[in-house]
């Protein structure tokens, strides 16, 4: 698109996902920017305006206008006039947009009505799909008669079973299974192409493309969303595919399959006198970074590290991301001195790039590398040796690189069953030590250790408050809160039990109160009244199946509100069960903890 001339596009978006459907002008603009959500294409200040627009639309406003600075070329932003409109479905919002070269009069004359925008989406024939990993619920809908019509809603396994029950030809069933695996794995974005009669009234097989992007929202939950479109020419993929199947969505690097494919080709093409280096990198204590600064900051760190590795490698090879905080790259025809120079450059620039984002955060990486043909010629053999190098780098204290040498490292044995090493973070390790100390204290002091252990948990995890409700009436037995709101109703208990996020182990984790306003309004009101941003509830059940203890662990709403790490629910489950057992065993459920 030529942004020096009048430009106009329209479509439908979801707050944290890619554009669900759009016209050709919008696709032309986005096709060189795969996997990027609207949030990624605008400035930080415009992001706040976007957030406010979504909030206002969801509160009932018929339309909201905003001027957003949109990235037209790399780091070049220009103002666009956006009009946001409700779609009739809370998590999908329609928009029309034009650059400032279109006058408002012409802009609104072209697309002034909600119905015209809906008709555009209907005319494109797109189906929108969503998959939530936490619930395994898969939905497909399409707009008809100005309303979203749900075509399917249920578990992904039910949808796949429905497809394979005569709705796809036998030769395409493996593709359907691969599509399910991509959704459930949520490690990569997905593109699937197979014939199905699911979308056909005449039960005729049509070639359909499912194109989706995976995203972790502010609530910490991972979802995949995208669209389904008919491919009319079976010899080609869709004219405007959502993504390059070899590209990682977040960083723009090659993904796991892509980098492996390129590395294998480089090894295959290696001639006498040439070499290839295979290198694995892992961000040190990345989970601790997420726990301390939040997942959004963690994403920024991953992007910064990706930029630094790619810049250091340059034209000497290619760089990929395996997923999470793991990177892989290969270089060709370099000596050891040149490789060491690349490692030093990566280390230096990572520190600089991350400090620009957060001055107090110090990020390091551990690296293992191996060279071919000296240590082998096949990808699998070389990868395992580079992995050993990474393992040794971690074991030696992290923040270093290890060049694998057979004579030095050949006898190193990796933990059984692991080909890609995962390491416990310092944060989780500290929690494990605290749990061990608490167990020892209970063995020595019995019920007298309950209150000190609660105080220890609060201090270790940086909690703002803990409340314990116990006994038949679930009266407050302990509270470290200063708000005086130390009660829990039977209605609240029922709502916790019926929440979609409550698991059968007895834990309900809420990472942001605002996200449950509609789904769990009673719990939302309870948290809001206490100014809580996030909480974990534990419900303990006696031998008769009655709830006799509830413990709430809470973070307050603050400027940098904390959220739960993935290890926190399991840790608090163990601790809560220990407390419950001690209280029941010593008949303390009707008494105050002192």
Helical (H) or strand (E) element with 45: helix 44-58
What single-letter DSSP state applies at residue 41?
Answer: G
What's the longest Cα–Cα distance across the chain? 80
Q: What is residue 115's predicted lDDT score, i.e. its pLDDT? A: 47
In tens, the pLDDT along 101-142 reads 433 333 333 333 344 444 544 554 567 788 887 788 888 887
- Reported as half-sphere exposure (CB side, CA atoms, 13 A), residue 319 has a value of 21
Whether the full predicted model's pTM is greater than 0.85, yes or no, is: no
Q: What is residue 36's predicted lDDT score, i.e. its pLDDT? A: 55
Closest to 39 measured CA to CA, from 220, 239, 299: 299
Measured in residues, the chain has a length of 594
Residue with tokens 């600064």: 293
pLDDT band, residue 217 (cuts 50/70/90) = low
Contact assessment for residue 289 and residue 301, using Cβ atoms and an 8 Å cutoff: yes
Is residue 492 predicted with pLDDT exceeding 90?
yes
Contact assessment for residue 279 and residue 329, using Cβ atoms and an 8 Å cutoff: yes
Q: What is residue 26's predicted lDDT score, i.e. its pLDDT? A: 62
C-alpha triplet 77, 81, 84: angle, nearest 5° = 120
Helix 568-585 and helix 450-461: axis angle, to 10°?
170
Dihedral sign computed on CA atoms, order 297, 302, 308, 311: negative
Q: What is residue 204's predicted lDDT score, i.e. its pLDDT? A: 81
Contact assessment for residue 184 and residue 191, using Cβ atoms and an 8 Å cutoff: no
Q: How many Cβ atoms from other residues are within 10 Å of residue 162's Cβ?
A: 15
DSSP annotation string for 152-210: EEEEHHHHHHHHHTTTS-GGGHHHHHHHHHHHHH-SS-EEEEEEESTT-TT---EEEEE
Give the integer Cα–Cα distance in Å for 53 and 47. Answer: 10
Give the integer Cα–Cα distance in Å for 404 and 8. Answer: 55
Output 504 or 509, whichever has higher pLDDT: 509
State the average pLDDT over residues 372-394: 90
Map out the domains of the chain with their CATH numbers.
Answer: 1-123 (3.30.450.20), 125-243 (3.30.450.20), 256-423 (3.30.70.270), 428-585 (3.30.450.40)
In tens, the pLDDT along 258-287 reads 898 899 999 999 999 999 999 999 998 888
Q: What is residue 30's predicted lDDT score, i.e. its pLDDT? A: 58
Give the integer Cα–Cα distance in Å for 98 and 81. Answer: 5
In tens, the pLDDT along 309-344 reads 999 999 999 999 987 889 999 999 999 989 998 998
Q: What is residue 220's predicted lDDT score, i.e. its pLDDT? A: 66
| The two structure tokens encoding residue 572 | 């608090």
From residue 23, alpha-carbon distances to 127, 130, 191, 464 in Å are 14, 20, 20, 48
What single-letter DSSP state applies at residue 42?
Answer: B
In tens, the pLDDT along 542-565 reads 888 889 999 999 999 876 567 777
């Amino acid at each position: 698109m030529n942004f020096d001339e009048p430009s106009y596009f329209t479509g439908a978006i979801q707050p944290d996902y890619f554009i669900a459907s759009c016209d050709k002008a919008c696709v032309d603009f986005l096709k060189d920017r795969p996997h990027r959500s609207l949030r990624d294409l605008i400035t930080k200040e415009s992001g706040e305006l976007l957030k406010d627009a979504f909030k206002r639309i969801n509160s009932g406003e018929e339309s909201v206008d905003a001027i957003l600075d949109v990235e037209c070329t790399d780091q070049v932003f220009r103002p666009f006039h956006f009009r946001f409109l409700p779609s009739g479905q809370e998590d999908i919002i329609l928009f029309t947009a034009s650059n400032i070269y279109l006058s408002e009069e012409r802009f609104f004359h072209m697309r002034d009505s909600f119905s015209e925008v809906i008709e555009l989406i209907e005319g494109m024939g797109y189906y929108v799909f969503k998959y939530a990993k936490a619930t395994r619920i898969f939905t497909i809908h399409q707009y008809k008669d100005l309303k979203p019509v749900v075509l399917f809603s249920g578990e992904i396994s039910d949808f796949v079973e429905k497809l394979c029950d005569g709705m796809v030809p036998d030769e395409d069933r493996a593709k359907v299974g691969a599509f399910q695996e991509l959704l459930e794995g949520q490690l990569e974005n997905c593109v699937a192409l197979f014939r199905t009669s699911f979308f056909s009234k005449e039960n005729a097989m049509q070639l359909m493309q499912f194109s989706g992007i995976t995203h972790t929202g502010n609530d910490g939950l991972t979802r995949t969303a995208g669209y389904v479109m008919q491919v009319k020419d079976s010899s080609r993929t869709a004219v405007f595919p959502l993504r390059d199947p070899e590209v990682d969505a977040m960083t723009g690097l090659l993904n796991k399959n892509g980098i492996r494919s390129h590395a294998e080709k480089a090894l295959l093409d290696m001639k006498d006198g040439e070499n290839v280096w295979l290198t694995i990198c892992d961000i040190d204590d990345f989970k601790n970074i997420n726990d301390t600064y939040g997942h959004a900051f963690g994403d920024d760190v991953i992007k910064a590290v990706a930029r630094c590795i790619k810049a250091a490698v340059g034209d000497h090879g290619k760089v990929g991301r395996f997923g999470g905080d793991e990177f892989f790259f290969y270089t060709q025809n370099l000596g050891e001195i040149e490789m060491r120079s690349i490692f030093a450059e990566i280390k230096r620039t990572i520190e600089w790039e991350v400090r620009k984002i957060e001055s107090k955060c110090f990020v390091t990486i551990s690296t293992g590398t191996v060279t071919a043909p000296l240590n082998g010629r096949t990808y699998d053999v070389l990868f395992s040796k580079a992995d050993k190098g990474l393992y040794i780098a971690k074991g030696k204290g992290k923040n270093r690189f290890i060049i694998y040498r057979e004579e030095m490292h050949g006898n190193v044995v990796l933990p059984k069953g692991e080909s890609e090493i995962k390491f416990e973070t310092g944060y989780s390790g500290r929690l494990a030590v605290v749990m061990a100390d608490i167990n020892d204290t209970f063995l020595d002091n019995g019920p007298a250790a309950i209150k000190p252990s609660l105080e220890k948990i609060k201090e270790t995890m940086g909690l703002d408050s803990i409340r314990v409700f116990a006994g038949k009436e679930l009266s407050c037995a302990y509270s470290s809160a200063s708000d005086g709101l130390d009660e829990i109703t039977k209605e609240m208990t029922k709502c916790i039990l019926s929440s979609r996020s409550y698991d059968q182990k007895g834990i309900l984790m809420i990472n942001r109160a605002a996200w449950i306003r509609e789904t769990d309004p009673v719990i939302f009101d309870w948290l809001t009244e206490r100014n809580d941003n996030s909480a974990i509830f534990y419900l303990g059940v006696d031998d008769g199946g009655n709830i006799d203890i509830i413990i709430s662990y809470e973070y307050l709403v603050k400027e940098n509100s904390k959220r739960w790490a993935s290890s926190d629910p399991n840790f608090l489950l163990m601790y809560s069960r220990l407390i419950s057992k001690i209280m029941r065993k010593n008949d303390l459920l009707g008494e105050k903890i002192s």
